[in-house]
Every structure is written in structure tokens, then in C-alpha cells.
Amino acid sequence: MWLIWALLSGLFYTGSNLITRYILKGNKDAWAFSFYFSFIGAVVSLPFVLNQFQGGKSWLIWGLMFLVGGLIVGNNWLNFKSSNYLEASVNGAILKLRLAWVLIFSIVFFQESFSWYKLVGTGLAVFAGLIIIQGIKRPNSLKGVLLAFSSTLVYATVIMLYKILFTDFNAATLTFFIFLIPAILNFLIIPKATQRLKKLLSQNGKAVIVACSLGGLANLTMNLGLAGAEATKVLVMIESFLVLALVGEHFWLKEKSYLTIKIAAVICATAGAILIRLS
């Protein structure tokens, strides 16, 4: 069942990432978008948590939940800010570096099973990101690369903490709170929040709602997959949808530069996903 959830998550993430790139292209307000991503994600997941709520039983686990919420605020800002500078496929390829951190953390801290298929598959997915980093040189790309790379470390840390939270929370409840807490934090810390939120909504209201709704569904299905399988397997299957991001940005966003480099990255990422599935 985890495979179905991972595939659905990959589809939702691809749609969300392409629309996010469309919205944020040209240095739009990534912080305001981060608020909407969390707020709308909480709204999307609310019916599921009302249907099957399962919360933590100690203050310690709730404290960890709030810590994760804070980390997600940082991760979302880094990720969305990098979308100001990088195409969806480029950003997606760099974010594959987080698979290396997830693999290392999973084996070291959670004693996940090791296999050569998993190691080589993860290595190919990471190599897809390196192809992008080495092959694309243009103004602002280095800043975008550094932002995306930083988010990989934060993301991998969050995924590992999810595994602890799953001992007390089910997937629906976890998803709701990892959206609700960042939404509240974002609103409190964004300078001139109301003014900036109104401005972004007036510029791209429909696109923001669609992108964030897909993002909410992507996180929900990802968490359902993570609740029943190893983190490395789930995440690599999701990341294999980079090929759809490439097609979408090529024909819809008209971002056709560095096509050969992008195709090479997609091939590596897809091969890595196949090997992970074999493991």
C-alpha cells in the first residue's frame, strides 16, 4: 500500500511544484506563499483528522511536534525561496540530495535495513542533483542552489523526527499539525504579514489555492506511505516524478534551457527509483 501512497504523493508534489514555480518565478514573496502553503494544507487535511484523530499523550511528544513545526517553517522558506531562482526540475534535482541524508540518518539512527540496491539507487538520485549543480551556470543560480541544498538537510532531519512522532500520531493527525503550527508561526513572524498576504493573493489567488491544496494532499499521502514503510523507499519513489516536472516546465512554463543536462538528471533519478523499488 505504501507504493500507492508514494506514487500519489509524487503526482501531487509535481503539480504543486510546477504551479509554485509559476507563482514565485521572478522573486515573488516566498514567505507569504509559505504561509498559504501551511494554512491551506491544514484546511485540506482537517476532514481527515476529524475522521480519525490520534494525538500524543505526553507534553514531550507535543514539544517535539512544535519543534518539527519550527523546522518546517525554515525548510519551506528555503525551498520556496529557491523557486525564485530555479526551474522546477532543477530545484527537484538538487533536492534529491536529501535522499542521501535520509539514507544515512535512517541506517544510523533507526537501523533501517541496508542493501546495495538501496545504496546505488540513492546514489543515482543524488547524482542527478550533482549533474544539475555542475552543469548549470547562470546569474542567481548559485544562490538558488545554496538555498535548495540547505533545505535538504532540514528536510531530512524533519523526516527522521516524523518517525518518532508516528509512535503517537497517525498520518492524518501528524499532517494536520505539521501544517497548522507552521501557519501560525509564519503569520506571527512575517513582517507586515496582512499586507503581504493580501498582495500575493490578489496577484495569483487561484494558482496559490491550487498549488497549496496539491501540496497538502502530497504531504498527506507521503505521511501515509511513511507510516507503513522505510523512509528511503517512500521518498525515492516520490522523487522519481522529476520527469513529469521536466515535461511540465518544458511545455507549460516554456523553460527549455539546458534540456540535455535536465534529461541526464531525470534518467539518473528514474534509474535510482527503480533500484530502490527492487530493494
| HSE of 123, CA atoms in CB hemisphere, 13 A | 6
Report the distance separating Cα 5 and Cα 158, nearest Å: 19
Residue pLDDT, tens place only, 97-112: 777 788 788 777 777 7
Residues 108/156, Cβ–Cβ less than 8 Å: no
SS3 122: helix
Q: Residue 132 pLDDT more than 90?
A: no
- In this predicted structure, the answer to whether residue 213 has a pLDDT above a threshold of 80 is yes
Q: Which of 15, 146, 138 is closest to 91 using CA atoms?
A: 146
Q: 113 to each of 186, 217, 230, 270, how far by Cα in Å?
A: 37, 29, 9, 22
* Choice between 27 and 63, residue whose per-residue pLDDT is larger: 63
SS3 186: helix
**177 contacts: CB under 8 Å, gap ≥ 6:** 65, 69, 169
CA–CA separation, 273 vs 124, rounded Å?
Answer: 9
Q: Provide, rounded to the nearest whole percent, the portion of the chain with pLDDT above 90.
A: 29
> The cell 527492487 sits on which residue?
278
Whether residue 263 contacts residue 246, with contact meaning beta carbons closer than 8 Å, is answered with yes
Whole-angstrom distance, CA of residue 96 vs CA of residue 148? 10
Residue 262 has pLDDT above 80, yes or no: no
**Between 189 and 230, the higher pLDDT residue:** 189
Contacts of 254 (CB under 8 A, 6+ apart): none
Task: For 55-93, write each residue's pLDDT tens digit.
Answer: 888 899 999 999 999 999 998 888 878 877 776 667 766
Q: What is the mean predicted confidence (pLDDT) over 158-183?
A: 92
Cell 495569483 appears where? 204
Residue 44 confidence (pLDDT): 95
CB 114 within 8 A of CB 103: no
Contact residues for 142 (Cβ-Cβ < 8 A; gap 6+): none
* Cα separation, 268 vs 121, whole angstroms: 9
Which residue in this structure is represented by grid cell 507510516?
Answer: 227
